Copies of this chain bind each other. A is one copy, B any other.
Amino acid sequence: MIVSTQRDTALTRNQSLVLEALADAKGPLTAYAILDQLRDRGMRAPPQVYRALDKLVADGMVHRLESINAFVVCQLPDCGSRETMIFAICSDCSQVTEIRDGGVGDRFQAVAEQAAFSVHKSIVELRGRCAHCRAS
Find out whether the CB atom of A129 lies under 8 angstroms from the CB atom of B103: no
Given the complex of chains A and B, what is the CA–CA distance between A120 and B127 in angstroms?
Answer: 6
Given the complex of chains A and B, what is the CA–CA distance between A86 and B112 in angstroms?
Answer: 9
Find out whether the CB atom of A88 lies under 8 angstroms from the CB atom of B115: yes
Contact of A134 (CB < 8 Å), options: B118, B125, B126, B130: B118
Q: Does A10 contact B (CB under 8 A)?
A: no
Q: Does A107 contact B (CB under 8 A)?
A: yes
Nearest chain-B residue to A65 (Cβ)? B66
Given the complex of chains A and B, what is the CA–CA distance between A86 and B107 in angstroms?
Answer: 11
How many of these chains are in the complex? 2
Chain B residue contacts of A117, Cβ below 8 A:
88, 90, 97, 126, 128-131
Find out whether the CB atom of A126 lies under 8 angstroms from the CB atom of B108: yes
Chain B residue contacts of A123, Cβ below 8 A:
66-67, 123-127
Q: Does A122 contact B (CB under 8 A)?
A: yes
Chain B residue contacts of A121, Cβ below 8 A:
126-128
Contact of A67 (CB < 8 Å), options: B66, B97, B101, B127: B66
Given the complex of chains A and B, what is the CA–CA distance between A101 and B91 in angstroms?
Answer: 24
Contact of A112 (CB < 8 Å), options: B67, B103, B128: B128
A119, A123, A129, most chain B CB atoms within 10 A: A123
Find out whether the CB atom of B88 lies under 8 angstroms from the CB atom of A125: no
